[in-house]
Amino acid sequence: MTSIRKWQVGESLPEVTLAPVSRLDLIKYAGASGDYNPIHTIDEEAKKAGLPGIIAHGMWTMGNLAKLFTPYYEEGFVQDYFVRFQSMVFLNDVITLKATVKEKDEKAIRFAVAAVNQHGKEVIKGEAVFSLYE
């Protein structure tokens, strides 16, 4: 694995493609997060809310973006992280996580991050700052 310090502006970390979103993923996340809104787990409730089916918790998708940095935690940590939710994630969607170096110095690397569905649509976009250990 290449050190995160070697990535240059404009280069991208290896993408991470998640398994298709499952109902069990969302039930587990509801339990872990305490967000039991039924639009995330019960089809009929999602349809009553005007949705075509259940949707993933936005924070489930956001939390998964951190997987991009897991291989590099021996070199630093995610210091700052913010995103904008662009679109909903549905059951069986396949999400690909992406990060591209925007800026870097000797102490931190700023990444543009995104989660993209199987249709190429960004469902989340934002930035993460990875602070480097000295």
The separation between the first and the last C-alpha atoms of the chain, rounded to the nearest angstrom, is 20
CA distance 42 to 40: 6
Q: What is the pTM of this model?
A: 0.93
pLDDT averaged over 10-residue windows placed end to end, the chain, 134 residues: 92 97 96 94 95 95 95 96 96 98 97 98 98 95
